Amino acid sequence: MISIKSPREIELMDIAGSIVARVHKKMKEVIKPGISTLEINRIAEEVIRENGATPSFKNYQGFPCAVCTSVNDMLVHGIPDHTILKDGDIITVDVGACYKGYHGDSGWTYTVGNVTDPKILKLLEVTEEALYKGLEQVKPGNHVGDISNAIQTYVESFGYGLPADYTGHGIGRSVHEDPYVPNVGKAGTMELLKKGMCIAVEPMVFMGSARCYTLPDGWGVKSYDHSLAAHYEHTVAITDDGYKILTKED
């Protein structure tokens, strides 16, 4: 069932979202060659807790850490560990925070040190732009499929792979709620968007083929062809005539 949030609930989600944004601001400062993904996790958790929130993903379906850290050819759900980031890597940090029972969720891909390969920079630019192409479709009267189709049309025009099994989602009292918000789909299909719905829109893109597999740890998802992955996500609330990004600093 899709829940419609009251203005008060959206206020709390806005606070949760701004805490997530503060974590990302910190990530921009600390992500450098030489840092481990476990240290990134520790710093992210510290910022979440200092702001009176709890990490949404810790213990979620058994996930062991506060945030997901997915390096290079890993698409999503990387478990922080002793991996040391190297100059030229890319890393996605996916952050969820729960404030007074309401969640915010935002993933972002960062470059580590000097990334100069135009092919890598293009992947990041296109995936971030795909997020905004999807968000342009978020308004009452449109359908979830309008978001999906806008993302798919844009991303596939660059020849990149969009794994259909990984989707955006509704969000609120739970970090994952109805509806699914796929990154592939037909315009005018799926659920009708209404004022007060809150959703996370999140294109997850491989430079190469969309084929991927889950690691033996049951979490990390990597490309079969070792191609690099990018992922950009915002949580938004649907307003009278569009949307408000909640995972932004006030």
- Report the chain's terminal Cα–Cα distance, integer Å: 30
Q: For the CB of residue 195, give the shortest distance to Mg ion in the complex, in Å.
A: 21
Least distance in angstroms from the C-beta of 95 to Mg ion: 7
Give the helix ranges, DSSP H, for the chain: 7-30, 37-50, 118-135, 144-156
Minimum CB–partner distance for residue 153 and Mg ion (Å): 21
Token pair listed for 74: 């890993």
What are residue 64's phi and psi, to 5 degrees?
-85, -10
Of the two residues 69 and 117, which places its CB atom closer to Mg ion in the complex? 69
User: Which positions touch Mg ion (CB under 5 A)?
Assistant: 94, 105, 107, 200, 233
Q: Which is nearer to Mg ion, 12 or 76 (CB)?
A: 76
Closest contact distance (angstroms) between CB of 193 and Mg ion is: 17
The number of residues making up the chain comes to: 250
Residue 16 tokens, joined: 């949760």
Integer-rounded Cα Rg, in Å, for the chain is 17
Least separation in angstroms between residue 96's CB and Mg ion is 6
Q: Which is nearer to Mg ion, 86 or 184 (CB)?
A: 184
Torsion of CA 234, 239, 242, 246, to 10 degrees: -20
Tokens 């100069």, residue?
Answer: 116
Residue 177 vs 233, nearer CB to Mg ion: 233
Residue with Cβ nearer Mg ion (33 or 218): 218
